[in-house]
């Protein structure tokens, strides 16, 4: 009887240890997959931003240069007007979204306003990347003024995502400036 009890005890302890070891291995694999997917997401999302900056810069070069000049010279004013637009549209979107639960046309208007805000942001982001890229190029002593400068600016802004709070605040500032470039005239 003792031998059976001893054998069952050893078997249960060994199986428990095996399960714990397998769990640790699975957790390590899951963490590795999470890190790898995060890196691929960051890389893939930068490629989307770089493609967007390239396309808008190629299709609207005069507009991008004019708005980059606005960002360069009047970024505080662009931030102020952008903040007003983001807050006012945010309030309208929230209110219309709630009213849209009872009246669907109001919800559709909220979606249209949200898309307008996102369009203003995404188009205004291109001149911001040019300005940041030019500042980096000037600091590094580069003589380049072509699309590579904008792509370096986009990369620098994209990498700020990985710096909690300070990087996020910096990105939020430039995102609001991107919206404000639509209002401020050069």
- DSSP string of the chain, one letter each residue: -HHHHHHHHHHHHHHHHHHHHHHHHHHHHHHHHHHHHHHHHHHHHHHHHHHHHHHHHHH-HHHHHHHHHHHHH-HHHHHHHHHHHHHHHHHHHHHHHHHTTT-HHHHHHHHHHHHHHHHHHHHHHHHHHHHHHHHHHHHHT----SHHHHHHHHHHHHHGGGSTTHHHHHHHHHHHHHHHTTTS--
- Considering the domain boundaries, does residue 159 fall inside one? yes
% of residues, the chain, pLDDT over 70:
82
- Considering the domain boundaries, does residue 77 fall inside one? yes
Task: Indicate the number of domains in the chain.
Answer: 1
- Considering the domain boundaries, does residue 112 fall inside one? yes
Residue 14: what pLDDT? 52
pLDDT digits (tens, 9 = 90+) for 82-93: 999 999 999 999
Taking the C-alpha atoms of residue 39 and residue 25, their distance in angstroms, rounded to an integer, is 21
pLDDT digits (tens, 9 = 90+) for 113-169: 999 999 999 999 999 999 999 999 999 998 877 889 999 999 999 888 888 899 999
- Considering the domain boundaries, does residue 185 fall inside one? no
Residue 38: what pLDDT? 77
Residue tagged 């005069």 (tokens): 62
% of residues, the chain, pLDDT over 90:
58
Domain that holds residue 27: 2-180
- Considering the domain boundaries, does residue 186 fall inside one? no
Residue 175: what pLDDT? 94
Tell whether the model's pLDDT for residue 24 goes beyond 90. Answer: no
Return the CA Rg of the chain: 26
pTM of the model: 0.76
């Amino acid at each position: 009887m003792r031998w059976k009890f001893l054998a069952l005890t050893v078997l249960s302890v060994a199986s428990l240890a095996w399960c714990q070891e397998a769990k640790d291995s699975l957790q390590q694999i899951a963490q590795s997959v999470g890190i790898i997917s995060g890196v691929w997401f960051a890389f893939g999302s930068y490629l989307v931003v770089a493609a967007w900056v390239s396309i808008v810069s190629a299709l609207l070069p005069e507009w991008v240069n004019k708005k980059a000049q606005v960002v360069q010279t009047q970024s505080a004013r662009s931030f102020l007007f952008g903040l007003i637009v983001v807050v006012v549209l945010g309030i309208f979107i929230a209110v219309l979204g709630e009213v849209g639960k009872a009246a669907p046309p109001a919800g559709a208007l909220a979606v249209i306003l949200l898309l307008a805000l996102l369009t203003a942001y995404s188009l205004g982001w291109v001149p911001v990347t040019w300005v940041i890229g030019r500042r980096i190029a000037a600091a590094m002593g580069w003589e380049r003024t072509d699309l590579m400068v904008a792509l370096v600016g986009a990369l620098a802004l994209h990498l700020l995502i990985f710096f909690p709070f300070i990087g996020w605040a910096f990105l939020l500032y430039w995102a609001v400036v991107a919206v404000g470039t639509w209002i401020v005239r050069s």
